[in-house]
Amino acid sequence: MLGDVIREAAARYGDTPLYVSPDGNELSYAALDRLSEDVATGLRARGVHADDVVALVLPSGPAYAVAYAAAAKIGAITAGVNDRLSPPERRRCLAVARPRLVVTSRELALDTAVGEVAEVEDVVEVAATTDPDTMLAELRADVRAAVMRAADMRAADMGAAELRAGRRPDPPAGDPDRAVAVVFTSGTTGDPKGAVFTWRQLEAIGAIDGGGRWGGGGRGLSSTSFAHLGYMTKLPQTLRGGGTTFMMRRWSAGDALEMVERHRITALGGIPTQVALMLRHDTFDSTDTSSVRMIAMGGGPSTAALVREARARFGVPVVVRYTCTEAGVGVGTAPDDPPEDAEESVGRARQGVELTVRSDDDDPLPAGDLGHVCLRSPATMRDYWRDPEATAAVFTADGAVRTGDLGYLDERGRLHLSGRSKEMYVRGGYNVFPLEVENVLADHPGVAHVAVVPRPDPVMGEIGVAVVVARRPGDAPTLEALRAHAQGRLASYKLPEEIVVVGELPRTAMEKIDRTALGSLVSATPPRPR
């Protein structure tokens, strides 16, 4: 179980830093184990038990890691809520999770209005600190309270070592099929769905990614949210590696390059947008990147030009990864694959993963035929949290996950993506659903009709273009006005970055918006200068 991995990592790596915060505070492997024990007891003191949901509305960082580890140690289920989401989006995630307890920073608690979510039973607000001595003190204080309620007053004088050794609640019996994490994704309307991963799936992901081996971890940068699939499902293998991750307050290309040089970062992983921004930064050529041994890109489309440039200018192998949240692990290229594999495709099925391209009737298609990309492996999610209907829709009869993407396999078994079967697009590694954005923009008083379609972008992968019919001809809202209108209701990455004004939206014979025609219209419109 995850608790066993945490304890073993603490024994092996001790005071080795696991995370280093921007302010210089370090969380060691030993401290993760020690602090999560305290917080686990604090969670129990607040009435959290095995199989209860603990929702984390916290910035990515050491406190998030400790809270996740603590919940796992008592058999609770952690639901991570991305702090970059807008307040309404965070509330919708909480409504789906129905948590027994929400752990949140004071700022995010106020911004999210957690108390207004009827499905939330209890909330604990914690100070935003990375100092191990005070981190999650509001929950660790409950350790003392629990002892005082459970025993006579002499127990309150017990030393910290005795307390940890003799007063911890017994962990739940090991069950590999017990849920550990809920990772939020979205449907076509933007409604959140929680992909459930058990310990069995976390172990499968660790085996596919790193063979379940101990050691070999290097020095990396934190580039994506801890609430994302990568962190939530790969923490056990990260701990086994014994490496050190350096945190950033907010990712920027300049800061990332400076940290690569200063901390001698050995591996860069993240979305293609981040690599593109680093290559375009004016300090790239003067930065010492010689410590980097490999670059891995996933979470969005990687162009052949970007892969070639990254490989040439960093002078290291570049690998690409492709999956979806529900599948856990998917396909990719390897460092020793022919260079063109990462340029022309997203690679082959990884070990233990079955990759198929299927027809509308779920029949496997031969190489070269375009169809629906499906993935099956021991790493696929168990189900959607409390959503059997959506679960049934996403799985094929033989247990493969429908990714929602279209593609084809070539004669060498490589997967080539051709588009999405739904309208979702990926902007800088984040999924964006046009209908969700359209519903917000349509409320603008100057908008009569609006549709959002993606346009390819060399840095972000794809950006959103708002195609607008003005309520008053000749008086269309500006892009800045639309973005200001949607700010606070949508995450920043969902806001449109270009606008096209038309007299009317193209429609099909069934009076539905013709998105194919819209895509052609946007493609024929010159991009807005930046």
Q: pLDDT by residue (tens digit) across 484-505?
A: 999 989 999 999 999 999 998 8
DSSP β-ladder status, 219-221 and 318-322: unpaired
Cross-strand partners of 498: 465
pLDDT exceeds cutoff 50 at 141: yes
Model confidence at 166, pLDDT cuts 50, 70, 90, reads: very low
The fold for domain 425-524 equals GMP Synthetase; Chain A, domain 3 (3.30.300)
Q: pLDDT by residue (tens digit) across 171-220?
A: 555 789 999 999 998 643 467 899 999 999 999 999 998 888 999 999 99
Model confidence at 228, pLDDT cuts 50, 70, 90, reads: very high
Determine which of 439-448, 481-490, 501-510 has the lowest per-residue pLDDT on average.
501-510
Query: What whole-number distance in Å separates Cα of residue 10 and Cα of residue 14?
Result: 5
pLDDT at 156: 43
Determine which of 60-69, 143-152, 174-183, 233-242 has the lowest per-residue pLDDT on average.
143-152
pLDDT at 279: 92
pLDDT at 131: 94
- Helix ranges (H only) for 46-86 are 62-73
Q: Please, are residues 121 and 129 in contact by the beta-carbon 8 Å criterion? A: no
Domain 2-219, architecture per CATH: 3-Layer(aba) Sandwich (3.40)
Burial class (CB in 10 A: 0-12, 13-18, 19+), 421: middle
pLDDT at 152: 46
The residues, any chain, with a CB within 8 Å of residue 151's CB and separated by 6 or more, are: none
| Cα 241 to the center of its chain, rounded Å | 20
> Domains of the chain: which residue ranges?
2-219, 425-524
Task: Please name which of 266, 210, 247, 199 lies closest in space to residue 60, comparing C-alpha atoms.
Answer: 247
| Cα 37 to the center of its chain, rounded Å | 26
Query: What whole-number distance in Å separates Cα of residue 82 and Cα of residue 91?
Result: 11
pLDDT exceeds cutoff 70 at 154: no
Query: What whole-number distance in Å separates Cα of residue 500 and Cα of residue 460?
Result: 19
Percent of the chain with pLDDT strictly greater than 70? 91
Helix (H) or strand (E) holding 376: strand 371-376
Can you give the pTM of this predicted structure?
A: 0.83
pLDDT exceeds cutoff 60 at 289: yes
pLDDT exceeds cutoff 50 at 470: yes
Q: pLDDT by residue (tens digit) across 251-282?
A: 899 999 999 999 999 999 888 888 988 998 99
